[in-house]
Amino acid sequence: MKWITRENVHVDRTACPWLIKKFIDPVAEFVFVPRDTDPSTLKEGIPFDMKGVELGHHDNRCSFESIVKKYNIIDPVILEIAKIIHAADISADRYSVSEGECINLLTRGIRLVSKDDYEALEKAFVLYDALYAAIKWRIEEKK
């Protein structure tokens, strides 16, 4: 399936593809369109993190949280990561979770050192794999 989002990826537009690949559609293909693209003009694919789409920002949720909700992802590690992505992506909540600003800075840096959005995703996936492992370790240590 094609998944479509805006170009110049950052927090939500790197975290969502990682989530989609790992938990929803392992053979997902991502397409990046200009920021001002009207999602209603898209003829194929599932749009995310675009204005007015189901898998976007709603009720103070970031797109990552909207995807978690729609696909009923209940993995406790993902639920913790969702809090971090929310803090990283929603500037008003940036410091609500200590890791939020760190993920915001790292994803910005990834974008700055990548030649395009595809390379940024590749690099960011390593970050999110590491975050998943660390959060899983943290949860298991508390047991």
**Could you read off the pLDDT of 28-78 as tens digits, one per residue?**
999 999 999 999 999 999 999 999 999 999 999 999 999 999 999 999 999
User: Phi and psi dihedrals of 13, rounded to 5?
Assistant: -85, 5
Arithmetic mean of pLDDT over the chain: 95
- pLDDT at position 93, please? 83
- DSSP helix/strand/coil, 114: coil
Degrees to nearest 5, angle at CA 42 with 56 and 128? 40
**Does pTM surpass 0.85?**
yes
Domain ranges within the chain, ordered by starting residue: 2-142
Is the pLDDT assigned to residue 9 strictly greater than 90? yes
Q: 17 CB contacts (<8 Å, ≥6 apart)?
A: 3, 5, 28, 30, 121, 125
Please write the tens of the pLDDT for every residue from 72-131.
999 999 999 999 999 999 988 887 898 999 999 999 999 999 999 999 999 999 999 999
